Chains A and B, each alone.
Chain A
Amino acid sequence: MGQIQLNQVSKSFGSVEVIPPLDLTIEDGEFVVFVGPSGCGKSTLLRLIAGLEDVTEGHVTIDGQDATEVVPAKRGLAMVFQSYALYPHMSVRKNIAFPLRMAGLDKAQQDKSVAQAAEVLNLTDYLDRRPGQLSGGQRQRVAIGRAIVREPAAFLFDEPLSNLDAALRVGMRLEISELHKRLKTTMIYVTHDQVEAMTMADKIVVLQAGVIEQVGSPLELYQRPRNTFVAGFIGSPKMNLIQGPGADKYGAATIGIRPEHIDINEEEGLWHGTVGVSEHLGSDTFFHVQCNASHEPLTVRATGEMALEYGAEVHLTPRTEHLHKFDAKGLRME
């Protein structure tokens, strides 16, 4: 079991309110990702759930029990830190066994759990090494191993992949998703990288300045962003947000259109502009087009074969059925 509920939880450091009161429910077995720009309070929220910070107001409930005053060790949650926080003077085996040792399990039980976790995480050959002798990815796995052996009600990850290089990050992303499918344990995962959020989450919680902007599945957020912040944050490359005359025509303060929902050709279209930089990814090509509908250049996705000169004149047509309209407050209009 691992159902976690936040009830009007808020957090202030001194007089600075980092997290205004918020409500959130995380269901058992869910993979929830907190995503938002740096400094928006994701880590703080996670630490409130873990019990490493005291809530200023409100209640944290774990599996129906009020855990607000419960010490971290007794909440049954395991955390993987951004710096891995491995114990440098202990071998990998001792690191992974540490929570079991603290729980007073006997040596045989410890060894059995450690062997199992090491098997799952491909660490069997490294058990006698020190963390300092491991690569970044292996250290990450040791940190996860230390969490797994506790059989926690939920795993908490705080930007676990941000210290890894791009290739490893993709691999570890898959491994963590795989682990979730296998263990079916609740996982709360904090990241500032919306690609991680989109690829891993069952449910994404978008945060900005401590406020929940939207909660939903990756596709919900992608297809129906509740406001301009979510619209701009989720999706890569970013959604084009157009204000002014271009938006007025649709009766909105801001309109949003994703790069893949704009048709581009050299003959005719609704808007007219000049091609700036083109980015060829092979499968797709992204054109940055300065056009008459917007001050900012628009990003347009085309097929990988399409090539246009720098400065070429083009026409753009948004597909109206995929247009997002937002009012003056930035909220979605329907």
Chain B
Amino acid sequence: MATQHSRSAARLMMAPAVVLLLGWMLVPLTMTLYFSFKKYLPMRGDSLANGLDWVGFANYARFVTSSSFWPSVYATLVIVGGVLVITVILGIFLALLLDQPMWGQGVVRILVIAPFFVMPTVSGLVWKNMFMDPVNGFFAHVWRSVGAEPIEWLSQASLPSLILIVSWQWLPFATLILLTAFQSLDQEQLEAAEMDGARWPQRFVFIVLPHLSRAITVVLLIQTIFLLSIFAEIFVTTQGSFGTKTLTYLIYQRVLESQNVGLGSAGGVYAIILANIVAIFLMRIVGKNLDA
């Protein structure tokens, strides 16, 4: 697009898409902001038609001072952090394995990627009923077969269970990205390092990991943004009880269970700010990595 003419033509042709995207984003954002400053309790007779009362920052103050707020931040951080650690470490390990020539490689790779295509609601239910059920679940059978008392996974170990379920879903994503990164590693670099006297662990630390660093950052960035908003897995398993109420789930409860739209909207604005802080933070890391 060199000439003035082609540039303005390009702008003109992109305009509909840009306008649509802006509208898509701006309308809900503006509405959320609007409601967050209003008292809006539909069950108590508030409605848009009658006009809503302006309450300033009261919703914001109430959201963060509620006793559920800090526990929900904690649950969110534990789940996001736990899933990130597990998927990256296991992802590197699996990618290493899948990169080896082996019999039935194509099929194995498809099997490894498969969990990614299972809908979160479905996988949550499958884990809850088929694996973690304290009476009929697979784990309960395993525990009983060795004579142990079955664990009530979703109540006794609720956060680890959720981390397990979500990690299972996201591991394929991490593995796939890391595998492609592995495959782009110049084998001659590894051979050079081998001749230079680096043993396997040293080759991994000095050659493989630095090569993977960019892919790892990308995995962290993308997963964080998606993990901050996990919902279905919690909804179909614990319903937010046993300390698994994340920020997203808390907002859902405020709006739909307590029917307090204003309070929920204030929570939503906090979530937007949080997600953007994470995004800026991670973008900077990626940007730095891409420069090098």
Contacts and interface: CB of A to CB of B under 8 A. Distances in A.
B283 to A, nearest CB: 20
B198 interface: yes
Interface class of chain B by DSSP:
helix
Given A81-B188, A102-B202, A87 B193 contact: yes
B195 A77 contact: yes
A81 B292 contact: no
B197 A89 contact: no
A108 interface: no
Nearest to B196: A99
A86 B192 CA distance: 8
A130 interface: yes
Contact of B196 (A52, A73, A88, A89): A73
A79 interface: yes
A78 interface: yes
B207 interface: yes
Interface string B173-192: 00000000000001011011
A52 B194 contact: yes
Contacts of A130: 292
A81 B191 contact: yes
A16 interface: no
A83 interface: yes
A146 interface: yes
B254 interface: no
B216 to A, nearest CB: 13
Contacts of A146: 192, 196
A98 interface: yes
| Max chain A Cβ within 10 angstroms of own Cβ: one of B188, B191, B196 | B196
A82 B189 CA distance: 11
Contacts of A71: 194
Contact of B195 (A52, A87, A88, A103): A52
A326 to B, nearest CB: 40
Given A85-B186, A87-B206, A99 B197 contact: yes
Nearest to B213: A89
Given A77-B195, A103-B197, A89 B188 contact: no
Interface string A83-105: 10111110000000011001100
Contacts of A99: 196-197
Given A85-B186, A87-B189, A73 B292 contact: no
A89 B211 contact: yes
A83 B189 CA distance: 9
A276 interface: no
Contact of A102 (B191, B196, B292): B196
A150 interface: yes
Contacts of B23: none
Given A89-B211, A102-B202, A73 B194 contact: yes
Interface residues of A, number: 23
Nearest to A158: B188
B42 interface: no
A79 B197 contact: no
Contact of A72 (B189, B194, B202, B211): B194
B196 A98 contact: yes
B210 interface: yes
Contact of B191 (A52, A88, A103, A150): A52
B2 to A, nearest CB: 28
Given A89-B211, A89-B292, A130-B292, A150 B188 contact: no
B201 to A, nearest CB: 11
A45 to B, nearest CB: 15
B193 A78 contact: no
A87 to B, nearest CB: 6
A39 B189 CA distance: 22
Nearest to A98: B196
A83 B186 contact: yes
Interface in A135-149: 146
A98 B194 contact: no
Contacts of B186: 83, 85
Nearest to A47: B191
B239 to A, nearest CB: 47
B192 A79 contact: yes
| Max chain A Cβ within 10 angstroms of own Cβ: one of B186, B191, B192, B211 | B192
Contacts of B188: 81-83, 85
A50 interface: yes
Contacts of B210: 87, 89
A81 B192 contact: yes
Given A130-B292, A146-B196, 4 more contacts: A71-B194, A81-B191, A98-B198, A102-B196
10 contacts: A81-B192, A87-B206, A87-B207, A89-B213, A98-B193, A98-B206, A102-B197, A102-B198, A146-B196, A150-B196
The 6 closest A-B pairs by CB, nearest first: A85-B192, A102-B197, A85-B188, A99-B196, A73-B197, A89-B210
